[in-house]
Amino acid sequence: MRRDVVTIFGGSGCSGRHLVRRWAARGWVVRVAVRDPERALFLKPQGDVGQIVPWAADVTNPDSVAAALKDAKAAVNLVGILHERGRRTFARVHGDGADTVARAAAQAGVERLVHVSALGADAGSDSAYARSKAEGEARVRAAFPAAVIFRPSVVFGPEDDFFNRFAALARFSPALPVIGAPTVPTLRPSDGALPFVLDFFGAGGPKFQPVHVGDVAEAIVAALIRADAPGRTFELAGPRVYSFKEIMELMLAATGRRRFLFPLPYWVAGIEALFLQWLPKPLLTPDQVTLLMADNVASGTLPGLKELGIAPTPAEAVVPAFLARFRTPSRRATSAL
């Protein structure tokens, strides 16, 4: 019996590995299309022998994309970058790459295509990242009108580059920034003995509505099998909105660490990013600072997880478990009692 084939571009990443496991459980052959297939070999045990196939493909190379889509019934494009390096620019990966996958999928006769964009996609944004995501969406819709487009908020989970990054910083740094705090503190009423106190954080920086990686994977599966999904755009967001400061506090509570939080206005963060962007894995880039100036929350004007029959997972329910490895040995022992 011949199995259906799904091709997942970027399938070895944070969201991809969870999606691969779900499609393998459904009995499909899963092609994990990545630039370096050897780095996707860890996925093979998630399926039967020969069911999960790491496949060499680069979304900026039309021939490799076409080969990866041959005989595929469904396809998912998860490829994205957070910073630019050399020829790996936002325009090439998010714009040209998305167009290449969509055109090749149409030519190959792929029945269903899911394109994963970002919640901040905006053609009018000052951020090159956000503009490139919007361009990718437009080109996918033009090449494959029935494609399902997802705009996830910040994705969190065991392999994320969000909570894990802050937790790693907290291991050695005695202080952590709250980006987007006001330049000048303000007075606000106090609950204590003094009538007023200085407020250094204001609203706590930009707002986020992080979505669990498992919910994203379930949403993609639903989009590939539901009859009412093709041609629609969905916003994928969690059940709660957090400020940047609240995100840091949640991370610190989950790891059992006490760190000093200090206000970092956008203009100061922008200056620091001019230097940090040159690190092998940049901690912050000028474009990311620009992106942070806009809240990353669902607009409420588009369907979301609810319309796909998925109850969003609260961050508090899972973050402490996957950040346990960042706890100090003594606190790990205490939490295990």
148 and 167 inside one domain: no
Count H helices and E strands in the chain, helices first: 12, 15
Residues 67 and 190 grouped into a single domain: no
Q: Is the pLDDT of residue 193 over 70?
A: no
DSSP state, residue 109: T
pLDDT of residue 196: 67
Q: Which two tokens stand for residue 334?
A: 């205490």
17-31, 39-53, 276-290, 321-335: least confident range: 321-335
- Residue 288 above 90 pLDDT? yes
* 285 and 198 within one domain: yes
Whether 26 and 88 map to the same domain: the answer is yes
79, two tokens:
């490829």
Of 85, 120, 152, the one marking the end of a domain is 152
Residue 98 has pLDDT above 90, yes or no: yes
Distance CA 12, CA 180 (A): 32
Domain with 94, as residue range(s), is: 5-152
- Which tokens is 283 given? 């901690």
Which tokens is 113 given? 């295509």
First vs last Cα of the chain: how many Å apart? 51
- Total number of domains in the chain: 2
Higher pLDDT, 248 or 50: 248
In a domain, 235, yes or no: no
Flag whether pLDDT at 47 surpasses 90.
no
- What pLDDT score was predicted for residue 336? 46
Percent of the chain surpassing pLDDT 70: 95
Computed from CA positions of residues 130, 136, 141, 146, in that sequence, does the dihedral angle turn out positive or negative?
negative
User: Looking up tokens 């790693």, which residue turns up?
Assistant: 168
State whether 147 and 190 are in the same domain: no
Considering the domain architecture, whether residues 89 and 178 belong to the same structural domain is answered as no
Q: Are residues 139 and 259 in the same domain?
A: no
Mean pLDDT confidence for 140-160 = 97
CB contact at 8 A, 246 and 316: no
179 in a domain, yes or no? Answer: yes
Say whether both 191 and 114 belong to one domain: no
Question: Taking Cα atoms as reference points, which of 167, 140, 148, 145 lies closest to residue 156?
Answer: 167
pLDDT at 198: 76
pLDDT per residue over 321-331, tens digit each? 999 999 976 55
201 in the same domain as 121: no
pLDDT for residue 333 is more than 80: no
pLDDT value of position 337: 42
Tell me, yes or no, whether 312 lies in a domain.
Answer: no
Residue 310 placed within a domain:
no
Question: Given 121, 152, 183, which residue is the final one in a domain?
Answer: 152
> Is residue 318 one of the residues assigned to a domain?
no
Phi-psi region of 157 (alpha: psi -120 to 50; beta: other; left: phi over 0): left
- Name, in order, each residue with C-beta under 8 angstroms of 1's C-beta and a sequence gap of 6 or more: none
Residue 278 has pLDDT above 90, yes or no: yes
pTM of structure: 0.92
The mean pLDDT of 155-180, rounded to a whole number, is: 95
Of 259, 257, 274, nearest to 178 by C-alpha is 259
Check: CB of residue 131 under 8 Å from CB of residue 144: no
At residue 210, does pLDDT exceed 50? yes
User: Which pLDDT belongs to residue 331?
Assistant: 56
One domain for residues 76 and 168? no
CA–CA distance, 144 with 113 (Å, rounded to integer): 8
Place of tokens 């609810």: 306
Does 200 share its domain with 267? yes
Q: 80 and 181 share a domain?
A: no
In this predicted structure, the answer to whether residue 220 has a pLDDT above a threshold of 70 is yes
Distance CA 253, CA 240 (A): 17
1: pLDDT strictly greater than 80 = no
Average pLDDT on 64-83 reads: 97
212: nearest Cα among 312, 300, 304, 297: 312
Quote the pLDDT of residue 186. Answer: 81
The answer, yes or no, to whether residue 299 has pLDDT greater than 60, is: yes
CA distances from 36 to 29, 40, 130 (A): 19, 7, 26
Model confidence band, residue 188 (pLDDT cutoffs 50, 70, 90): confident
Average per-residue pLDDT for the chain:
93
Residue 21 lies in a domain: yes
What CATH number should be reported for the domain holding residue 49?
3.40.50.720
